[in-house]
Amino acid sequence: MKITCSQSELVKGVNTVSKAVPTRTTMAILECILIDASKGQIVLTANDMEIGIETIIEGEISEPGIIALDARLFGEIVRKLPNNDVTITVDERFQTQIKCESANFNITGKSGEDFSKIPAIARNNPIVISQFTMRELIRKTTFTISDINQANKMMTGELFEINENKLRVVALDTSRISIINIELRESYDSKKAIVPAKALNEISKIISGQTEDMVEIYFTDNHVIFEFDKTTVVSRLIDGEFFNISHMFNGNYDTKMTINKKSLLDSIDRSTLMLLKEAEKKPIVMDIADNRLTLSMSSFIGKMKEDIDIEKTGKDIRIGFNPKFFMDALKVIDDDTINAYFVDHRSPCFIKNEEESYIYVILPVNIQEA
């Protein structure tokens, strides 16, 4: 095999697929990046058996071939090469020469035929959204998933639910729920699938986030495929039935608070100065009465109290929350003003806009000891 491409193009391709190289594995071949120049294109691939990423890079193929190179070593080499054309030559014993200007590396590769390639999956009826929308829905939901190693696999993924021209994405853990509702340009057959958050997080690092660039999403019974630019990401779906949360959304509430988002976020952030360390669990207490919200925090260090003007309808209420969970939701909301809905001190708070394009549900904590 012999190929030539620019160093910048090679670095871009390596950085893209490296996100699917496993950090720990008993299969040495999976620690490699596959370079496949056997079919008229230069395709880079990495695969950790849960997520596979392949991308096409521009370059010239002098001799077709295929080789698997150690991802860490290969990545370090190409990133430190001069910004010029790079020539990669492989002989029949998998000895690989990487040459750029006067820099010349010789490393040993592995047979590309032994690499676990991305499975060939039929692609039909893609859901098309902009890369901007894709990045935003990931940004506004995946923070809810606190631990991708969670024993309950349902909590390591996000529900993608398609109903005609509506896409609903739901993520949750034991204390909160994030929901994003998107209106699609076309109507599609109904579909439910649980997409691993790990795959979504990696995609958010790759896509451009431009409104004019599109992502095509294909669902099969066992896989989801994301195609954008010249890159394909394939992930296994999480098998099982997602949590039924419909009973939580009956529209009933006793208190509604309208408040400036930045004022609320800044005040809660200030309250966390009373915590000795991030892991300390002390609630932020909210007293909502008349047209005033009083926030308070007590800890071994001391006490904090602050008043914020609000618009309130309904009953007065006193309720406590994990301050981090509340801030996480506020940070991803772009509106200047938010609406928060409460039932009682034991029931969740709902933060949503009038269109319900986003809904954040946060469970309260016991404030009897606060």
pLDDT at 269 over 70: yes
- In a domain? residue 32: yes
On whether the CB atoms of residues 156 and 145 are closer than 8 A, the answer is yes
260 and 210 share a domain?
no
Banded model confidence at residue 281, pLDDT cuts 50, 70, 90: confident
Q: What's the Rg (C-alpha) of the chain?
A: 25
The CATH number assigned to the domain holding 183 equals: 3.10.150.10
Give the residue-averaged pLDDT of 45-51: 94
Task: Give residue 117's pLDDT.
Answer: 86
186 and 163 share a domain?
yes
Task: Give residue 152's pLDDT.
Answer: 82
pLDDT at 305 over 80: yes
- Could you say which of 84, 114, 144 is where a domain stops? 114
- In a domain? residue 119: no
Q: Which residue range forms the structural domain that includes residue 65?
A: 2-114
**Quick one: tokens of 320?**
């406590």
Task: Give residue 150's pLDDT.
Answer: 63
223 and 262 share a domain?
no
Count of domains observed in the chain = 3
Distance CA 25, CA 98 (A): 26
Interval 63-80: pLDDT, tens: 999 999 999 999 999 999
Task: Give residue 151's pLDDT.
Answer: 67
Task: Give residue 26's pLDDT.
Answer: 81
Task: Give residue 300's pLDDT.
Answer: 86
Task: Give residue 154's pLDDT.
Answer: 87
- Could you say which of 114, 146, 177 is where a domain stops? 114
275 and 221 share a domain?
no
Distance CA 236, CA 157 (A): 11
Higher pLDDT, 147 or 218: 218
* Mean pLDDT, the chain, whole residue set: 94
155 and 68 share a domain?
no
Interval 216-258: pLDDT, tens: 999 999 999 999 999 999 999 999 999 999 888 888 899 999 9
DSSP codes joined into one string, 39-108 = SSSEEEEEE-SSEEEEEEE--EEEE--EEEEEHHHHHHHHHTS-SSEEEEEE-TT-EEEEEETTEEEEEE
Interval 165-174: pLDDT, tens: 999 999 999 9
pLDDT at 303 over 80: yes
132 and 230 share a domain?
yes
180 and 205 share a domain?
yes
Task: Give residue 370's pLDDT.
Answer: 44
275 and 238 share a domain?
no
pLDDT at 18 over 60: yes
pLDDT at 159 over 60: yes
Task: Give residue 149's pLDDT.
Answer: 60
Give which of 339, 196, 181 is closest to 259, Cα–Cα: 339
**Beta-strand relationship, 284-289 and 66-70:** unpaired
215 and 274 share a domain?
no
Interval 167-198: pLDDT, tens: 999 999 999 999 999 999 999 999 999 999 99
In the chain, what percentage of residues exceed pLDDT 70? 96
11 three-state secondary structure = helix
Task: Give residue 297's pLDDT.
Answer: 94
Interval 83-139: pLDDT, tens: 999 999 999 999 999 999 999 999 999 999 999 888 888 888 899 999 999 999 999
